[in-house]
Amino acid sequence: MSLADQSVSPSARPLVKLSNIRKSFGSVEVLKGVDMAVQEGQVVAMIGRSGSGKSTLLRSINGLERIDDGVIEVDGECVDPSQIDLRALRLKVGMVFQQFNLFPHLTAGENVMLALKVVKKQDKAACRAAAEAALSKVGLGHKFDAYPSQLSGGQQQRVAIARSLAMAPKVLLCDEITSALDPELVNEVLSVVRQLAEEGMTLLLVTHEMRFAREVCDSLVFMHGGRIIEHGPPAELFDRPQTPELAQFVGMVEAR
């Protein structure tokens, strides 16, 4: 099962290509051979019940979960289970987490500058300029010197997005990035993601925001029991689910 056949430009080589990804935690197999391809500029949301493997799949794309079998390819960087050094991959893949994971001892600006300094070895002025640009992009240019504890959850998550963007990744992974936010703060984060999508950033999201997925994403991936069992344009999946699992899932989320 591949998404490549229905991508925006079928001739292009996919930016992210997953082949037969398998992963077990102990005796529980959470990914049972997942294939997937994402074209540059595509916005893809992974949906499914908790435990379906969507977060594990997302986390495996930048090596936070080591896969047991299969190959991950991102912009020419290949990773298989034997790989130990994942840094080349991680420079191409940014990640934003549910719990923000800002460094609490550093200001917003320092959070963004840290990896520019120690990973990309940029000089002070370049780091500062890049951090200011990234924070402005998420609407927090004025919070450069604020510590995470002085920011709201929504602001912290936007700093986390800026921190990833500043590294100029080819693809940004978002792992339930609004799930830990108070309801009134969700939109400020989603509008940043929407803006990135409009600018052509390649995005892979695990999300429970179905309306957002429907409006912003080019493609949806429905996971169930460690497999992708349906994929396609959002309208198609929501309006004409082909499997009883997806029909049930859509019914559940729409009843909310």
Partner 1 sequence: MAYRFDFSSLADYTPVLVQGVATTVGLTLIGGVLGVGIGIAGAAARSSGNAPVRFAVGSYVELIRNTPFLVQLFFIFFGLPSLGVRLPEWQAAVLAMVINLGAYATEIIRAGIDATPKGQIEAGASLGMTGPQIFRYIILGPAMGKIWPALTSQIIIVMLGSSVCSQIAVEELSFAANFIQSRNFRPFEVYFLATALYLALAIALRWLLARLGDRMFRGGARV
Among 6, 101, 122, 187, binds partner 1 (CB under 8 A): 101
* Residue 115 binds to partner 1 (criterion: CB under 8 A): yes
> Judged by CB under 8 A, which stretch of 42-50, 98-106, 206-214, 220-228 contacts partner 1?
98-106
Of the residues 102, 131, 210, 220, which one makes contact with partner 1 according to CB under 8 A: 102
DSSP summary character for residue 141: G
The token pair that represents 193 in the structure block: 């993601």
What is the rounded distance in angstroms from the CA atom of residue 164 to the CA atom of residue 42? Answer: 18
Window 132 to 161, contacts with partner 1 (CB under 8 A): 147, 149, 160
Q: How far apart are CA 249 and CA 46, in angstroms?
A: 13
Nearer to partner 1 by Cβ, of 175 and 230: the residue is 175
Q: What is the dihedral of CA 172, 100, 229, 75, to 10 degrees?
A: 20
Query: How many Å apart are CA 194 and CA 212, to the nearest integer?
Result: 9
Contact flag: residue 99 with partner 1 (CB under 8 A): yes
Residue of 90, 137, 158, 224 interacting with partner 1 (CB under 8 A): 90
CA-to-CA separations, 152 to 39, 121, 139, in angstroms, rounded? 34, 30, 13
Q: Is 205 in the site for partner 1 (CB under 8 A)?
A: no
Work out which of 5, 87, 121, 125 binds partner 1, going by CB under 8 A: 87
**Nearest distance from C-beta of residue 80 to partner 1, angstroms:** 18
